[in-house]
Amino acid sequence: MSVVLVYLILVAQFASWEDPFIILLAIPPGLAGVLLFLLATGTTLNVMSLMGVVMMVGIVVSNSILIVEFARHLHHDGKPVQEAVSLASRMRLRPILMTSLATVLGMIPMAIGAEPGSEQYAPLARAIIGGLLVSVVITVYLVPAVYLIVHGKGEQQAQGVPS
Distance CA 53, CA 109 (A): 18
Specify if 39 maps to a domain. Answer: yes
Q: Is residue 7 part of a domain?
A: no
pTM for the whole structure: 0.86
Contact call for residues 151 and 75 (beta carbons, < 8 A): yes
Cα distances (angstroms) measured from residue 151 to each of 105, 142, 146, 161? 35, 14, 8, 14
- pLDDT for the residue 146: 94
In a domain, 119, yes or no: yes
Q: Is residue 66 part of a domain?
A: yes
Query: Can you tell me the mean pLDDT for 5-28?
Result: 89
**Residue 110 belongs to a domain:** yes
Give dist(CA 28, CA 96) in Å, integer. Answer: 18
CATH of the domain at 85: 1.20.1640.10
With a CB cutoff of 8 Å and minimum separation 6, the contacts of 149 are none
Residue 80 lies in domain: 21-155
- At 67-91, the pLDDT tens digits run 999 999 999 999 999 999 999 999 9
